[in-house]
Amino acid sequence: MGQSGTAEGRPLHIVQFTRSFHFGGTEVQVLELLRGLPDGFRVRVGVLEATGPLLESVWEVGHVPESFPLKGTLAHTNSALQVLRLARWLRRHRCELVHVHDFYSTVLAVPAAKLAGCRVLVGRLDLSHWQGPARRAVHAELTRRADHVVCNADAIRQMLLAEEDIAPARVSVIPNGLDLARFDARMRDGLVAPLPDTAGAPVVVHVANMNHPVKRQGDLLDALRTVRARGVNLHAFLVGDGPLRPAFEQRARELGIRDAAHFLGHRPDVPAIYARASLGVLCSSAEGLSNAVMEGMAARLPMVVTRVGGNTDLVADGERGRVVEPQQPRVLARAMLEVLSNPRVAQRMGRAARRFVETELSLERMVERHASLYRRIATRSAPTAS
């Protein structure tokens, strides 16, 4: 397809616009796009807040984000001022396409792109489970005003078509990508801090923030108690942090599993932690396409996931792991016991999971599909779905 940004062979000037560079699946994917897009693209970075531990990695690949900070609520007059600032910035740098990755950034980027006369691609990367009706309506309207929409799971695409009246030809699905070489290197590098001593007992790993109840860490704790009550000395490593953590720690104490449920906080060595586990779990009640599940699969773990969002795009039940209904801890416990009781089947599912990541979820495939979509949006008046 070549390295040029457009059919005419000239560079295509684009902007990656996101809220910040804190740890999160969206931020990681933006960083991978910045690393991987070919030379035929001239890329700038816009943010609402130039903060977060991933910001240093953004600097390392040669980008200094321009900030357009919000102050308080979106209804603040500053929001309109930032829209005008962003529009002027886009015109000054002759930007042709803005790819915006989250709700708050969309509120600024869509009207600013329209004022500046450039195309705008809205990323929809979850099922809007955290939005109230008013915010959801705003997001839907701005999405309809965009030139095109990209999501990372078919479940999100179906939601957009059914609930937000987005035309099918205006929505593309591009799954997240994983840099397997970097992932494997991080796994070989080992741990950055010791892990709790489980004396050789099996370990289940759960990786998710503790900001929103949708991640359902409490279900894992209930399932862990059930598994241990069946005589299996299973331990759980819960990776992630947030305001709900104290409640989960209290729940573990109430269940009598305080010594088996280990809260590790944020960890930069997730690949090495997965390498020391027997299985992985993600028991959310709503989900986009989870990087945590992808990384567990890359580590050759059988993943036990709930039947929500993009989880079933990744895990084929009985082939690459197990899929269970959400918010049913006893069913979750039963699936975990099945995996633990048959190591040979678990290893087969883990190998199949790794092959799926290698063939379907490579970073190169994700970047090239985005690059192709950028070219299409910039050069066609009516982009079609991929």
Confidence (pLDDT) at 385: 43
Q: Does residue 254 belong to any structural domain of this protein?
A: yes
Task: Give the residue with greater pLDDT, 28 vs 18.
Answer: 18
Confidence (pLDDT) at 1: 36
Confidence (pLDDT) at 382: 41
> Predicted confidence band at 23 (pLDDT cuts at 50, 70, 90)?
confident
Is the pLDDT reported for residue 130 higher than 90?
no
Contacts of 71 (CB under 8 A, 6+ apart): 78
Q: Does residue 6 belong to any structural domain of this protein?
A: no
- In SS3 terms, 167-196 reads as CHHHEEECCCCECHHHHHHHHHHCCCCCCC
Q: How much of the chain, in percent, has pLDDT values that exceed 70?
A: 96
Confidence (pLDDT) at 330: 98
Residues 170 and 303 in one domain: no
Residues 249 and 317 in one domain: yes
Confidence (pLDDT) at 9: 66
Residues 24 and 161 in one domain: yes
Q: How many domains does the chain contain in total?
A: 2
Q: Does residue 384 belong to any structural domain of this protein?
A: no
Q: Which residue range is the domain that position 252 belongs to?
A: 180-360
Is residue 14 within 8 Å of 96, Cβ to Cβ? yes
Residues 252 and 217 in one domain: yes
Each residue's pLDDT tens digit, 309-325? 999 999 999 999 999 99
Q: Does residue 201 belong to any structural domain of this protein?
A: yes
Q: Does residue 3 belong to any structural domain of this protein?
A: no
Residue 70 sits in a domain whose CATH number is 3.40.50.2000
Confidence (pLDDT) at 210: 96
Residues 135 and 241 in one domain: no
Residues 232 and 166 in one domain: no
> Predicted confidence band at 127 (pLDDT cuts at 50, 70, 90)?
confident
Confidence (pLDDT) at 5: 55
- For 364, left (φ over 0), alpha (ψ -120 to 50), or beta? alpha
Is residue 329 within 8 Å of 222, Cβ to Cβ? yes
Q: What does the DSSP assignment read for 256-273?
A: T-TTTEEEEES-S-HHHH
269: nearest Cα among 277, 258, 261: 277
Residues 167 and 190 in one domain: no
Q: Does residue 308 belong to any structural domain of this protein?
A: yes
Q: How many CB atoms lie within 10 A of CB 168?
A: 10
Is the pLDDT reported for residue 21 higher than 80?
yes
Each residue's pLDDT tens digit, 252-305? 999 999 999 999 999 999 999 999 999 999 999 999 899 999 999 999 999 999
Each residue's pLDDT tens digit, 155-181? 999 999 999 999 999 999 999 999 999
Is the pLDDT reported for residue 119 higher than 90?
yes
> Predicted confidence band at 8 (pLDDT cuts at 50, 70, 90)?
low
Task: Give the residue with greater pLDDT, 189 vs 10.
Answer: 189
Residues 87 and 196 in one domain: no
Instruction: Share the mean pLDDT of the chain.
Output: 93
Contacts of 188 (CB under 8 A, 6+ apart): none
Residues 206 and 355 in one domain: yes
Residues 128 and 106 in one domain: yes
Q: Does residue 4 belong to any structural domain of this protein?
A: no
Is the pLDDT reported for residue 142 higher than 80?
yes
Confidence (pLDDT) at 384: 42
Residues 144 and 213 in one domain: no
Residues 169 and 213 in one domain: no
Confidence (pLDDT) at 50: 95
- Exposed/middle/buried for residue 341 (C-beta within 10 Å: 0-12, 13-18, 19+): exposed
Q: Does residue 5 belong to any structural domain of this protein?
A: no
How many Å apart are CA 285 and CA 240, to the nearest integer? 17
Greatest mean pLDDT range, 8-17, 43-52, 376-385: 43-52
58-67, 130-139, 175-184, 332-341: which has the minimum mean pLDDT? 130-139
Each residue's pLDDT tens digit, 44-102? 999 999 999 999 999 999 999 999 999 877 777 889 999 999 999 999 999 999 999 99
